[in-house]
Amino acid sequence: MVQTLPEPAKLRPGVLRIIPLGGIGEIGRNMTVFEIDGKILIVDCGVLFPEEHQPGIDVILPDFGYLRDRLDDIIGIVLTHGHEDHIGGVPYLLRLKQDIPLIGSALTLAFVEAKLKEHRIQPYSMVVAEGQREKMAGFDLEFIAVNHSIPDALAVVIRTKAGTVLHTGDFKMDQLPLDGRLTDLRAFARVGEEGLDLFMSDSTNADVPGFTPLEKDIGPVIENIISRSKKRVIVASFSSHVHRVQQVVDAAKANGRKVVLVGRSMVRNMQIAIDMGYLKADLEDFVDLKQARNLDDNQLVYMSTGSQGEPMAVLARMANLEHDIEIAEGDTVILASSLIPGNENAVYRVIDGLTKLGANVVHKGNAKVHVSGHAAAGELLYCYNILKPKNVMPVHGEYRHLIANGKLAEQTGVAHERVLITEDGWVVDLVDGVAEVVGAVECGLLYVDGKTVGKITDEDLKDRRVLAEEGFISIFCVVDSAGRVKVGPEIRARAFAEDDHVFDDVKPLIERALAAAAGEGVRDPYALQQVIRRTIGTWVNKAHRRRPMIIPVVIQD
């Protein structure tokens, strides 16, 4: 939706203001700000992984601009669960102010604290559990167990004098979860009976009819694939997907194989999960990469990162023959995850690379090796009927998901005008049972590029794309005070033409253009550079159908 909104009016006392700074219209970088009477509560702070049109970018953060001058007003950050798209941005926010309290379940905070340790940040953490209530400034928080593809996920009820909000985080309603931890619909019903003013619900699978399949159905499929494999098996998944790793460990043990954890984040997170009792496994179930070299291929299952085709993750490096594990004829690779929108090309590129090396690649498209962690339409309808919310604000999803979620709400009786389809940066005020959009704040993409945060702009990315796709041409020449060319023009190119002699035809054109400019009294080096840029740009476009980056340098003698 292309819509320009004004800056919101100053927040009135007793009104709850809600501002999503990420996660609306995208799968990732989830972050929502709640503000009342000068105090701010944040729910989640995640990252978004870059797409192909964002070369060189490591991750993308929510826009912290709105908060930079309000850091002392932040009373805490509630983290709903331990996936990167909900916790990955925490280290970057805490760089701005390290003593902002973190609130979450035991496993979620353990994952965050391990990440923060690498950033040399010692956080202030508050462990909470389902059924617990905490009062902080003008917020009364209640935490509710929800089922997701990671243990210990929580929804949060936010009670204020302006009204009550339920934010689900990511959730589904698996009726036979691997860890026995159901989404607490009784708590949902109780909140609904009290009166729910605003429901903020996960939208990722809102356009998928029916119910999300059971997680337990995946284990037998993985075990069957491993039992039929004659050589090595490599399973790729998210490094925080404890349930999937549990199924792989169980399947490996049933087939007399050892599990090798590969990838720094995979090793770190699974060690935490074992230590805390979330992953039921013994030390003898695992071997490290060095020990694996002494075992036969049919005795091993590698559990790795890279299921989204990330170029620096383990699986992509295997496909590119850049990893110690060299894929060979007869190996089996299982991609045990869904495709995050935007990653399709990268994933299929990895699948093709692995297949070319002789591997049998099993993925969601040809076998039931993954189920989603998000509620489908049938589950969301249950929630709407249980909660009977006065207002609805779909979150966590691309635009089509938000629309689909909003339509589900309307089917259960929520008035059309009470369904708020928003965008990142839009400002929603809640008071007297009514939620409405009242404006917008500046909210863009914050790029992390190596050690720099927020210094790379969209213009920089455009330049990178031009360099990657069209090449680079530099032109150097020295002119005298009359504008005549004394040296050059010397032309060099990269990723455009192997032979610099290809520019012989354009050099006379540049000299004539400079002479014509000099005849018109042009002496300024910058103006002469623009003359060169236009001349060679026109020639390149006509002669080669290309639009490379052109860097002219003119020095006056």
Is residue 388 assigned to a domain? yes
Percentage of the chain modeled with pLDDT above 70? 90
pLDDT digits (tens, 9 = 90+) for 68-102: 999 999 999 999 999 999 999 999 999 999 999 99
Is residue 423 assigned to a domain? yes
Q: Is the pLDDT of residue 1 over 60?
A: no
Q: Which of 362, 381, 414 is the last residue of a domain?
A: 362
DSSP-derived secondary structure letter, 548: -
Higher pLDDT, 184 or 471: 184
Q: Can you give the pLDDT at residue 456?
A: 63
Best CA proximity match to 45, nearest among 54, 33, 57: 33
What token pair was written down for 262?
């590969």
pLDDT digits (tens, 9 = 90+) for 98-141: 999 999 999 999 999 999 998 899 999 999 999 999 999 999 99
On whether both 388 and 356 belong to a single domain, the answer is no
Is residue 398 assigned to a domain? yes
Cβ count within 10 A of residue 492: 13
Higher pLDDT, 267 or 461: 267
3-state SS string over 193-242?
A: HHCCCEEECECCECCCCCCCCCHHHHHHHHHHHHHHCCCCEEEECCCCCH
Higher pLDDT, 268 or 351: 268
On whether both 205 and 304 belong to a single domain, the answer is no
Best CA proximity match to 5, nearest among 399, 446, 427: 427
Best CA proximity match to 391, nearest among 204, 201, 203: 201
Taking a C-beta distance cutoff of 8 angstroms, is the pair 187, 410 a contact? no
Taking a C-beta distance cutoff of 8 angstroms, is the pair 510, 537 a contact? no
Parallel/antiparallel/unpaired status of strands 102-104 and 391-392: unpaired
The overall average pLDDT reported for the chain is 88
On whether both 38 and 113 belong to a single domain, the answer is yes
Q: Is the pLDDT of residue 153 over 50?
A: yes
What token pair was written down for 287?
């071997």
Q: Can you give the pLDDT at residue 450?
A: 62
Euclidean distance between CA atoms 14 and 163, whole angstroms: 10
Contacts for 13 with CB less than 8 Å, ≥ 6 apart = 37
- What is the CA 342 to chain-centroid distance, rounded? 10
Q: Can you give the pLDDT at residue 307?
A: 67
On whether both 255 and 270 belong to a single domain, the answer is yes
Residue labelled with tokens 């050892």: 258
455-469 mean pLDDT? 58
On whether both 115 and 243 belong to a single domain, the answer is no
On whether both 167 and 223 belong to a single domain, the answer is no
How confident is residue 367, by pLDDT bands cut at 50, 70 and 90?
confident
On whether both 201 and 223 belong to a single domain, the answer is no
Tell me the β-bridge partners of 448.
59, 453
On whether both 443 and 530 belong to a single domain, the answer is no
Q: Can you give the pLDDT at residue 321?
A: 84
Phi, psi of 499 (to 5 degrees): -110, 120
Euclidean distance between CA atoms 50 and 282, whole angstroms: 36
pLDDT digits (tens, 9 = 90+) for 526-553: 788 888 888 888 887 777 777 777 888 8
pTM of the entire structure?
0.82
pLDDT digits (tens, 9 = 90+) for 219-274: 999 999 999 999 999 998 888 889 999 999 999 999 999 999 998 889 999 999 99
Q: How far is CA 403 from CA 397, 407, 417, 437, 438, in A?
A: 9, 6, 13, 16, 20
Residue labelled with tokens 């992390």: 448
Q: Can you give the pLDDT at residue 113?
A: 95
CATH of the domain at 317: 3.40.50.10710
User: Range with the lowest mean pLDDT among 164-168, 455-459, 513-517?
Assistant: 455-459
Residue 272 parent element (H or E): helix 264-275
3-state SS string over 126-195?
A: EECCCCCEEEECCEEEEEEECECCCCCCEEEEEEECCEEEEECCCCECCCCCCCCCCCCHHHHHHHHHHC
Would you call 53 helix, strand, or coil by DSSP?
A: coil
On whether both 40 and 169 belong to a single domain, the answer is yes
Residue labelled with tokens 């089922």: 147
Q: Which of 362, 393, 422 is the last residue of a domain?
A: 362
Taking a C-beta distance cutoff of 8 angstroms, is the pair 534, 506 a contact? no
Euclidean distance between CA atoms 303 and 370, whole angstroms: 15
Number of domains the chain is built from = 3
Parallel/antiparallel/unpaired status of strands 485-494 and 472-479: antiparallel
Residue 347 parent element (H or E): helix 344-356
Is residue 367 assigned to a domain? no
Q: Which of 362, 396, 417 is the last residue of a domain?
A: 362
Which structural domain, as residue segments, surrounds residue 528?
A: 471-556
On whether both 504 and 445 belong to a single domain, the answer is no
